[in-house]
Amino acid sequence: HALASTIRESPEAAALAARELAACRTGARWLASRYRVDDAVALWERAAASSAASPRDRIGAWIGAADACEKAGRPMPGERFGTMAVEEAERLGLPIPELADAFRVSGVCAWVTGRLPVAEARYRRAHAAAMAAGDRHGAAKAQGSLAILAHDLGRIDEARGLYDAVIAESIALGDR
């Protein structure tokens, strides 16, 4: 509380906290790209805890941590961070594209650990959240995840329809 009141009283302290938050995000992305997951997650956690972090910043930091864990083959902590992001976004009632990313990343982590019904439910929620936010790219990513899952479950006709929809949307968005 003391730091928060200092930041409210001091523009210099607020600017310093904002620079620290930006540095944490940049550093975490760089570390994650080099598979230094523990260091990246530590910076994402620091970014989420920053006094300058808005709720959207915290959600983005948890998604960054989940994504880093998932890409490094650590689905369990990735799912925990994804769930934290989802719960915070839902608690605040934020229909934001990041909510779709949180559902999708935590769905990937559930899929990797063999919890396919959980993964499917999260992918469907990712698609719904992206559509609610008007995020066509996010909706297509979620649909692509659903297509892969349907294919893995042997639901070939469903997978084909989803793949076709993703391809059509990608072309419409200019992604070739």
Q: What is the mean pLDDT of each run of 10 residues along the chain (176 residues)?
A: 47 69 72 76 81 80 84 82 84 76 85 88 92 89 93 93 92 79
Give the count of beta carbons closer than 10 Å to the beta carbon of residue 109.
Answer: 27
CA 123, 56, 34 angle in degrees (round to 5)? 70
Whether the full predicted model's pTM is greater than 0.75, yes or no, is no
pLDDT the model gives residue 13: 67
C-alpha distances in angstroms, 52 versus 17, 31, 37, 92, 112? 5, 22, 23, 18, 34
Question: Cα–Cα distance between 68 and 80 in angstroms, integer?
Answer: 12
Indicate the burial class of 80 (C-beta count within 10 angstroms; 0-12, 13-18, 19 or more): middle
Give the count of beta carbons closer than 10 Å to the beta carbon of residue 30.
Answer: 13
